[in-house]
DNA sequence: CCCTGCCGCTGATCTATGTTAGCCCGGACA
DNA sequence: TGTCCGGGCTAACATAGATCAGCGGCAGGG
């Protein structure tokens, strides 16, 4: 939709909320300039460190999660390009989750102190990041409701609906299919289920002619059916009140 | 700890992160000036409205939640005095959850537009609210992990540990007890369990001499035991990197 | 005073999901 | 070419937690 000038995913996202000055834009660009490639599976932050970076995901899939004492883990979310990870840790001065690459990925890492400087120098960016953080929080809340109050079938369906919609917004999905590198173990850790049960549920979704999940690819057979089953409500509508005067 | 001058709970919270100018303080004070009392059980925002207010809880207990199509609901959190509710809805331009009073409560309501003006006039407050929002998000994440990866007993124990710690920070709990107006149905909706099962679990916690939950009051018998059972990790440490120069 | 409704509490049963223990296939690698 | 490994897949069995049905106490209101 929006004509995408050649700009980073992050600035494209933020400008949806607030018009950024050239100076602000160039600072952000500089923050993002230091890019690193990370191999799939690599963990980027561990819980409990105390000197923090923030990361902007540029390419690839990642996951944020917490590990339990018994070795299990709960995946919080799957950042996609343009998403910011670890800002919370910077602000709260305590790393409360881990972050790793699901596929090979490219990230820019920003020292926490730089991030705080940025807010000092360009306070308007505080509001912009607040808006972005609110979107993230809304996603976590949705995830919470999904796990707390839906059974495995609805839950899984809902999960893929949400994923599809997010990816569509970035042009990475169509109405009928999208690429998806998540295996059943990862899906299980995200949905609070066992991998075995995920397998059963995926089979059932397939048998109901709703959704087929193969390695690397998801095919949507019956969108209205899925929507009905999962109680999914799209989060559309203009999502930008726009605090910029003009 | 901090000598509390007579200031609102909200400003006390925000100044923990950033030093506010007198002008900023007075604006916030004005925002908070319009107070309303709401009766217990009253719902303040419904999902799906489209003209939004933000609320600052001043006194009493509240709950934020989503209702499911089948009538069930998932409680997201229990704001306590000083917490801001509905900011997300204002920023995202879509009310994604409901909010109601658990006890009689006092709130200040702030029209969304005022809130946005505030960020335009005093951009530094954007960073301050971003910090506050990060704290909220961390709580939701913790809640997500709790529901996704702990069984009913651990989950319930963890829930009360967290509650106790939050209330202690505001001086509303001691190491051994605190007032708590939540009944078993509400606890169930928060933990993603049935009320019946909550009852059983509370009985078990009592029989294990860990925790007694009575109407209106929670008594902690064995803090280390609870901590061990629930895998609770305190979220202490200075939680303020402080972006203010001085 | 009795009625009503809320809340805590319980036992019996049912079911969704976890656990254990595998098989099979395809791709990477020696 | 064979072996190893990750991942999808399955069946049999175990169990945590939901559901159903109901009791009793207590506070508020007519």
- For residue B168, give the DSSP letter: H
CB within 7 A of nucleic chain D:
A 183-185, 196, 199-200, 202-203, 213, 215; B 151-153, 192-194, 196-197
Model confidence band, residue B238 (pLDDT cutoffs 50, 70, 90): very low
User: Over 90: is that where the pLDDT of B1 sits?
Assistant: no
What's the pLDDT tens digit per position in A84-96? 999 999 998 888 8
CA distance A18 to B138: 25
The answer to whether B239 contacts A141, with C-beta atoms less than 8 Å apart, is no
pTM assigned to the model: 0.92
Average of per-residue pLDDT across B172-176 = 92
Residue A208: phi, psi to the nearest 5? -80, 5
Per the CB < 8 A criterion, the answer to whether A11 and A80 are in contact is: no
Residue of B nearest to A143 (CA): B144
In terms of Cα–Cα distance, which of B79, B89, B99, B58 is closest to B139? B79
A207-to-A157, A161, A177, A200, B101 alpha-carbon distances in Å: 13, 18, 17, 10, 44
Distance to chain A for B148, nearest Cα, Å: 5
Average of per-residue pLDDT across B211-225 = 92
Per DSSP bridges, beta strands B73-77 and B43-45 are unpaired
The answer to whether B241 contacts A116, with C-beta atoms less than 8 Å apart, is yes
Per DSSP bridges, beta strands A105-111 and A53-59 are antiparallel
In terms of Cα–Cα distance, which of B131, B133, B128 is closest to B24? B128
User: Over 50: is that where the pLDDT of A60 sits?
Assistant: yes
* Residue bearing tokens 């007579």: B6
Model confidence band, residue B245 (pLDDT cutoffs 50, 70, 90): very low
pLDDT value of residue B96: 81
Q: At what angle do helices A152-169 and A184-191 cross, to 10 degrees?
A: 100
The beta-carbon neighbor of A147 closest among B97, B142, B144 is B144
Question: CA B200 – C1' C12 distance (Å)?
Answer: 15
- Weakest mean pLDDT among A120-134, A209-223, B42-56: B42-56
3-state secondary structure of A117: helix
Cα-trace Rg, chain A: 18
Per the CB < 8 A criterion, the answer to whether A14 and A7 are in contact is: no
Return the nearest residue to C17, CA–C1'. Answer: A197
User: Over 50: is that where the pLDDT of B246 sits?
Assistant: no
pLDDT value of residue B123: 87
Residues of chain A numbered 1-60 and touching chain B (CB < 8 Å): none
Let me know how long chain B is: 246
* Residue bearing tokens 């559309």: A236
Neighbours of A224 (CB within 10 A): 8
What's the pLDDT tens digit per position in A175-232? 999 999 999 999 999 999 999 999 999 999 999 999 999 888 999 999 999 999 998 8
Residue B62: phi, psi to the nearest 5? -135, 175
Residue A90 structure tokens: 């910077």
CA distance B136 to A99: 20
Residue B186 structure tokens: 């509400």
Q: Tell me which H or E stretch contains A228.
A: helix A223-230
* Residue bearing tokens 């109405």: A175
Residues of chain A numbered 78-107 and touching chain B (CB < 8 Å): 87-88, 90-94, 96-97
Higher local confidence (pLDDT), B234 or A115: A115
Cα-trace Rg, chain B: 18
3-state secondary structure of B103: coil
Neighbours of A209 (CB within 10 A): 10
Residues of chain B numbered 138-157 and touching chain A (CB < 8 Å): 138, 140-145, 147-150
CA distance A217 to A212: 8
pLDDT value of residue B49: 58
The beta-carbon neighbor of B76 closest among A66, A141, A240 is A141
């Amino acid at each position: 939709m929006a004509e995408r000038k050649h700009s980073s995913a992050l600035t494209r996202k933020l400008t949806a909320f607030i018009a950024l000055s050239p100076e602000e834009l160039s600072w952000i660009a500089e923050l993002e300039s230091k890019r690193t490639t990370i191999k799939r599976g690599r963990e980027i932050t561990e819980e409990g460190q105390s000197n923090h970076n923030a990361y902007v995901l540029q390419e690839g899939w990642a996951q944020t999660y917490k590990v339990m004492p018994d070795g299990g883990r709960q995946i919080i979310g799957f950042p996609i390009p343009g998403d910011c990870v670890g800002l919370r840790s910077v602000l709260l001065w305590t790393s409360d989750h881990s972050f790793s690459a699901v596929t090979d990925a490219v990230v820019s890492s920003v020292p926490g102190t730089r991030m705080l400087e940025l807010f000092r120098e360009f306070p308007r960016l505080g509001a912009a990041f607040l808006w972005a953080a609110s979107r993230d929080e809304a996603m976590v809340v949705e995830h919470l409701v999904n796990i707390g109050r839906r059974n495995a079938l609805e839950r899984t369906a809902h999960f893929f609906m949400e994923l599809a919609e997010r990816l569509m917004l970035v042009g990475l999905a169509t109405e009928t299919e999208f690429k998806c590198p998540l295996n059943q173990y990862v899906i299980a850790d995200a949905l609070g289920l066992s991998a075995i049960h995920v397998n059963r549920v995926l089979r059932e979704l397939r048998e109901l002619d709703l959704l087929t999940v193969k390695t690397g690819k998801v095919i949507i057979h019956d969108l209205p059916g899925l929507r009905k089953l999962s109680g999914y409500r799209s989060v559309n509508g203009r999502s930008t009140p726009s605090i910029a005067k003009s």
